Amino acid sequence: MTRNRETILIDTATQPLWLFALDLIVKQALVLAAGYLLPRIAPSIVPSDFGLSGDILGTLHPAVAFVLRNWVPVLMILVLGAWYVGVMAAPSARITSQRVILTKGFFVRTCDEIELFRVRDVVASQTLLQRLAGIGNVTIEASKDLKSETFELNSFDRPFEIRELVRNAWAKVGQPQRTLNVD
């Protein structure tokens, strides 16, 4: 929901680094499962030498075959469940022409708003791993009443673009109005 004459500049969600790694694992597992299952499901369409041909489980030790038949599907369901919870619980940020709205939590959702005229500083940063994943952190320092507050937007896609959007929107709203900060 936006206020009068307020436009949404960006609506984005975080992607934690562990979720990025889990996403890669899930994709690899799906490719392996397809390579194993396709020759069995549609032998007339998929050549027999595609993927893992033959009954590979029959050639393994019975204990290993038992684990692969019974526990690997359970682990896959747990991994997919963790991925779903990670996606649903990921914090999201909505940057409008007048404020920044940060929503986070899975079981308990909280929503925090920062009016842009209160913003004092915006910093974007990336670690090496975050740079490889294409994510980063944005820190917004704002003044509220007689104190200064810091808001962390961790593991967001395109952190430098988010920083520039906040700075440009902040410039349009105007620099902070005379606030008194007593330390």
Segment 13-26 shows an average pLDDT of 66
Long-range CB pairs of 143-148, under 8 A, 24+ apart, other chains included: 143/118, 143/176, 143/179, 143/181, 144/118, 146/180, 146/181, 146/182, 147/181, 148/120, 148/181
Read off the DSSP letter of residue 116: G
Q: Compute the chain's Rg from CA coordinates.
A: 24
Q: Which domains does the chain have, with CATH numbers?
A: 8-14+91-173 (2.30.29.30), 17-88 (no CATH)
Q: Determine the pLDDT at residue 91.
A: 81
Residue 111 has pLDDT above 70, yes or no: yes
Percent of the chain topping pLDDT 90: 8
CB 128 within 8 A of CB 38: no
The two three-digit tokens of residue 22, written as one number: 């889990």
Q: Which two tokens stand for residue 71?
A: 């526990």
Residue of 38, 21, 31 lying closest to 79 (CA atoms):
21
Distance of alpha carbon 142 from alpha carbon 156, whole angstroms: 19
Enclosing H/E stretch for 136: strand 135-144
Q: Which residues of 158-171 are buried (b: 16+ CB within 10 A; e: fewer)?
A: bbeebbebbeebbe
CB neighbours of residue 115 within 10 Å: 13
pLDDT tens profile 40-76: 665 665 555 544 444 555 566 777 767 666 776 777 7
Q: How far apart are the first and last CA of the chain?
A: 35
What digits encode the pLDDT tens for the residues 135-163? 889 999 998 777 888 888 888 888 898 89
